[in-house]
Amino acid sequence: MDDYFAVIMAGGGGTRLWPLSRQDRPKQTLALFGDRSLFQMAVERVHPLIPMERLRIATIRAQVGLLREQVPALPADGFLIEPAPRGTASVVGLAAVTLAHEDAQAVMAVLTADHHIANETLLRSLLAAAYQPAKDGHLVTLGIEPTQASTGYGYLELGEQVGEVGGHPFHKVESFREKPDQQTAERYLAAGNYLWNSGMFVWRVDRILQEFDRHMPELAAGLARITEALGTSSAVQVVEQVWETLRSQTIDFGVMENADDVVVLPTKDLGWWDVGSWNRLYDVLPLDEQGNLVLAQELIALDTSGTLIVQEPGQSRLVATLGVNDLVIVDTGVVLLVTTRDRAEQVRALVDQLRQDPTKHRYL
């Protein structure tokens, strides 16, 4: 498996965790689960299956410094720079042509930096199992057996089993489904043959490039221009030029929904959590006896329940609460947010409003 590469997508901003997540400290760099950041965990959990030299970190230029600081062992040429966010299809395409330049039939795992995975051993076992079907030409995705009728994830419809590797069966995928409404999510859960789309994929680089040719010809044309420039002094400039022409599109909508030969490795017990919002954090992290989620150094809480209290590391202030319920309180060096758990999914509205005022961009 020495042609097995991993691409960790680490360029997101994570505005739904604002203001803890900000431009200069995006979500994947936050240590929400102990000492290590989501990014550090994302890098470390693929070892020793895929060694550091076959790891590629896809991100925007502004984040490279912080990411290298968090994982000093990462080589400078391990970064794939997106000139600007243009969706996962564009990132995957850039990664695919870059790896193809090294090895036209390399296998690449596409991994995320903003999910928590409790069982890292199981993840490596799944990634190891995915290698051979990918090498054989399948587009492999990891699907998570749902534990609740979540409307926050896309779903995969499970088809018949078509093989087994390393104790893991793999199945055809009948269809990809967008994030459903509540009623549909409940139907999926009851039906039992739907999986959460984890956003983790494994495929041969030439196979995914074929699919871009078929389903995203504009992106494929841009990638062809980049391929010509790779290894020359104009490579960076060409990527930037191509990027300006790209629409933002996800790999799920752009390719997976229409691709041939998609298979899924179903899994449970991976301890896989999207940590995309304050409410998700509240749902997955342990609460105190009053149902509060406390990520604060120093707190005094009287008659306080159902409340999420988050303090940015380095803040030394006391958070004091009295007689409040079901709030979200986020105390950072530059912004203090107070909202309710009901409304916390809408912090994006605050971010959007701040974006419209250049004098307030320092709070983003």
Point out which residues bind its own copies (CB under 8 A).
19, 298, 300, 302-303, 316-324, 327, 329, 331-340, 342-344, 346-347, 349-350, 353-354, 360, 363
Minimum CB distance to its own copies, residue 224 (Å): 45
Sequence-distant (≥ 6) Cβ neighbours of residue 324 within 8 angstroms: 303, 304, 307
Q: Closer to its own copies by CB, 223 or 295: give it.
A: 295
Q: Closer to its own copies by CB, 7 or 344: give it.
A: 344
Q: Closer to its own copies by CB, 262 or 354: give it.
A: 354
Measured distance CA(362)–CA(208) in Å, rounded? 39
* Cα-based distances in Å from 146 to 27, 200, 271: 24, 16, 11
Minimum CB distance to its own copies, residue 282 (Å): 16
Minimum CB distance to its own copies, residue 117 (Å): 30
Minimum CB distance to its own copies, residue 294 (Å): 13
Measured distance CA(126)–CA(38) in Å, rounded? 20
Measured distance CA(32)–CA(281) in Å, rounded? 9
Minimum CB distance to its own copies, residue 277 (Å): 13
Q: Closer to its own copies by CB, 118 or 300: give it.
A: 300
Minimum CB distance to its own copies, residue 266 (Å): 38
- Compute the radius of gyration of the chain from its Cα atoms: 21
Q: Closer to its own copies by CB, 21 or 98: give it.
A: 21
Question: Residue 354: how many CB atoms within 10 A of its CB?
Answer: 18
Which residue's structure tokens are 């600081």? Answer: 69
3-class DSSP state for residue 142?
strand
Taking the CA atoms of residue 347, residue 353, residue 359 and residue 364 in that order, the dihedral angle to the nearest 10 degrees is 30
Cβ proximity of 276 and 151 under 8 Å:
no
Q: Closer to its own copies by CB, 44 or 298: give it.
A: 298
Minimum CB distance to its own copies, residue 351 (Å): 9
Question: Residue 182: how many CB atoms within 10 A of its CB?
Answer: 10
Measured distance CA(321)–CA(337) in Å, rounded? 14
Q: Closer to its own copies by CB, 187 or 355: give it.
A: 355
